[in-house]
Every structure is written in C-alpha cells, then in structure tokens.
Amino acid sequence: MFWNKEIECINRDELEKLQSQRLQSMVQRIYNNVPFYKKKFDELGINPKDITSVKQLSSLPFTYKSDLRDNYPFGLCAVPQQQIVRLHASSGTTGKATVVAYTQNDLDLWTEVIARSYTMAGISNSDTMQVSYGYGLFTGGLGAHYGAEKVGASVIPMSGGNTKKQLQLMEDFGSTVLACTPSYAAFLGESIVSANILDKIKLKIGVFGAEPWTEEMRQYIQNTMNIKAYNIYGLSEIIGPGVSMECECQNGSHIYEDHFIPEIINPETGEVLPEGELGELVFTAITKEALPLLRYRTRDLCTLTYEKCACGRTLARMGRIVGRSDDMLIVRGVNMFPSQVETVLLELPETTPHYAIIVDREGNLDTLEIHVEVAEQYWTDEMKQLDAIKKKITHALSNMLSLNPTVKLVEPNAMQRFEGKAQRVTDRRKL
C-alpha cells in the first residue's frame, strides 16, 4: 500500500530535479537566516547562488551534533520564534540537550512521512495502534501518534512502561498495531506469553525503532507475538522517526529522499563513498523550515542502495545500522554518551572521573552498570557513609542520563588509567 505513490515511486531523474530545486532554496534560506551557516559558507568561499544541483552537495560543509550544542538552544533555527510551534530535545554529549524545533509545516511534513511509513507497513483506518513509546521531549511518542491519526488508525496514547496495563488495553481495545522500541516489544511479547493471553491479542503488525536491532531480534519478536515486525528509522535532528521505513520486503528501509537527502561518507576523511559501501550516514533536510540541517553527521554506520525495490518504490534504501562512528550508546531506547557520565562524576568530589560503563542485556532488556571509584579522601570505613555516597552518585547519574544505572563502588585507584584513548565502555549486547 502507498500513501503517496507519486513520490514513493518517482522516476529518479525527476527526483533529482526536485532535490536540486529544494537544495538550492534551502541553501539560500540557511545562508540568509542562520549566521552559523553564513559564516561557514563565507569562510569556505561558497556563494549560495552557485549551488544549483544536488550533485554539488558534496562540496558543502558538514553539520555536527557539537554545532547544535555550541549554538544551544536555538542558534541554528532558520525562522523566528513566532513560527515555531513545537520543541523536542534529546541527549547531548555533555548534558546539554540537543534541541530541535518545528514549524507547523515541519510538523505536517513529519506527519506525512510517518503516514507514508505506516501505510507502507499495511496500517490503515481499520487498525488500532497502541503507541508505547515515551510521550514527551522524546520524538518517538508524539511522532508515532500524529502519523497514526493521519492514516486514520484509532490511536491509544499509552506511552511507555506499566506493562500490566499495556497488556490489559491491548486485550480490551483489540490493538492491531504496536509502536515502541524493539527491546520493549520483545519484553511485551514475553509478558503476553507468560500471561497466557496470546489467543486474546489481535496484534498483527509492529513498527519498532529508536534503537538498532538485529535480524535475530526481529525473528524472535515476530515468532513470540505472531506479528510482522518493521523497522522505522529516524533521528530528532532530521525530523524524528520516519526518516526511513521498511516495506513488506523487509530488505532495507526506504528513505524519503524528497525531504532528506542521504549520503554515505568515510567518517575519517569525509569523502563520499560509492553505492553499497559501508560508511557514515549523512542527511540534508532540504524542506525543513525551523531546523534545516546541511549534511548532518548521524554517526550511524550503514550502506545505501539505489536499486528499485521489489515493492515498486524507487526511493533509496539504507541497510541496518551496524554501529556508530562515535561513542554514543543506545540503552533501552535512550541515547547516552560516556561524556555525560564523566560530566556528572567531575561535579562530585566523592568520586574520580575514572569509571567503567558496562552495558548488557538480560532477557531482552538492556542493563546499565557504572563502576565508580570512591575518592581517596572520601573513603571511610563506615558503610552507611559509603552507601550515602553511592546513592548520591546514582541519583546524579539518573538525572543526567534519564536512565537508572546500577552504580558499583570500587576501590580508590582500582579503575584502569589510560594513557592513550580510554576504553571505558564494555557493550556485551550482541547487536
């Protein structure tokens, strides 16, 4: 099924024309309205009037997550506040959130791409969708919500957590579609099986995203709940979920290239790689009004193919995310950076900035353990004081990360000191 067949099956020459027009106009807008880009263009001697074709994209500068932080909160916005109707935020690298802004047209665009995605998965007004992503600053909940309403599905804005109630409503309201992170989907599936209510559940489709997952995980979820599970990809800096989506062929995710131009680059050199090669995914949001980012470095590693898909779509497809070109971790669907942990520890005199982060998976839920040293002068032989220190560190880390880590105190000077690049993260999950 197609939501917008004209675009989704567009002739690639026509698509290129459309992209070129839109890129041209975007470059003008950011040059005129975002001092950050004007300065960059001027320094590089690029005249925005010279950019007329999408083929020139590789000559333009990149935008990094750190640029959003340095221009926190609204420095990269290309429209005045009066036109901004929504703000979302995700984790930054040192605690300052990455803020993203939307105009009404941006929200409409976001709803359009999610509507295309849900239609691609076979979702229609005959469906009842349980949205079990967190609602709030995170783009997952509200993004899924408006997209599902657009296709006419009955939406249950359930939000995350409260598994017992999730199952109750799923059964009582007859949910046919589930939208959440793949790890929560796996957990819900197990809960359905152990509550022995699989025969009372009407679920047939799952649209899962916000964290990387494997083909094995997909098979597991599909078999546990007897559904078809689709991957949806996105990042808040570009729009949120709905940058790309898998079709029924489940063979790569279609990127909505009429809005987001993808490139795969060598993360070391920045050079654009030939089709099919593994590298870092970069996006240019050519139609966004509030936050039109130019060649944004996603840090996600994958491949691209422009081959026409068996489903009939001509849009480029991206392969599974196989890793990151930075040290970002995704734990229970929440982005986190080791540098956030470091920021917290540096502010607490009771501990040193020497630490270890251990991520594992028990059953299908991620676990996060952080080992911290007690500073020499704070270590006491009284357990209640050490426990108080541990509580204080745990509290500060939970606030920063929006995750509840298990903090483990280790002996002063017990953590390894690194002379070169520190290896502080152990990820035992098999992705």
Partner 1 sequence: MIIKQLSVFLENKLGRLTELTKVLADNDINLSAFSIAEGTDYGIIRCIVGRPELAYKVLREQNFSVKTTDVACLVVPHKPGELHKALEILSKNDISIDYMYAFAADSNAVVVIRSESTEELIRVLQANNFDMLDSGKVYQQ
Residues that bind partner 1 (CB under 8 A): 374, 376, 379-383, 386-387, 408-414
The H or E element containing residue 106 is: helix 104-120
Give the nearer residue to partner 1 in terms of CB position, either 255 or 357. 357
Pairing outcome for strands 154-156 and 128-131: parallel
Give the nearer residue to partner 1 in terms of CB position, either 365 or 375. 375
391 neighbors 351 (Cβ within 8 angstroms): no
Residue linked to tokens 């109630």: 165
- CA dist 337 and 402 (Å) reads 12
Give the nearer residue to partner 1 in terms of CB position, either 55 or 408. 408
- Residue 303 token pair: 């491949």
Least separation in angstroms between residue 412's CB and partner 1 is: 5
Please name which of 140, 150, 242 lies closest in space to residue 181, comparing C-alpha atoms. 140
329 neighbors 339 (Cβ within 8 angstroms): no
Full DSSP string of 280-334: EEEEEESS-SS---SSEEEEEEE-EE-SPPTTS--S-EE----EESS--EEETTE
Give the nearer residue to partner 1 in terms of CB position, either 179 or 370. 370
- CA dist 233 and 320 (Å) reads 10
Give the nearer residue to partner 1 in terms of CB position, either 125 or 416. 416
Give the nearer residue to partner 1 in terms of CB position, either 382 or 419. 382
Residues 6+ apart with CB under 8 A from 220: 186, 189, 364
The H or E element containing residue 374 is: strand 365-374
Least separation in angstroms between residue 374's CB and partner 1 is: 7
Give the nearer residue to partner 1 in terms of CB position, either 1 or 375. 375
Least separation in angstroms between residue 341's CB and partner 1 is: 17
Please name which of 173, 169, 310, 156 lies closest in space to residue 247, comparing C-alpha atoms. 310
Give the nearer residue to partner 1 in terms of CB position, either 125 or 377. 377
The alpha-helical segments, DSSP class H, found in 131-261 are 139-150, 163-173, 182-194, 215-225
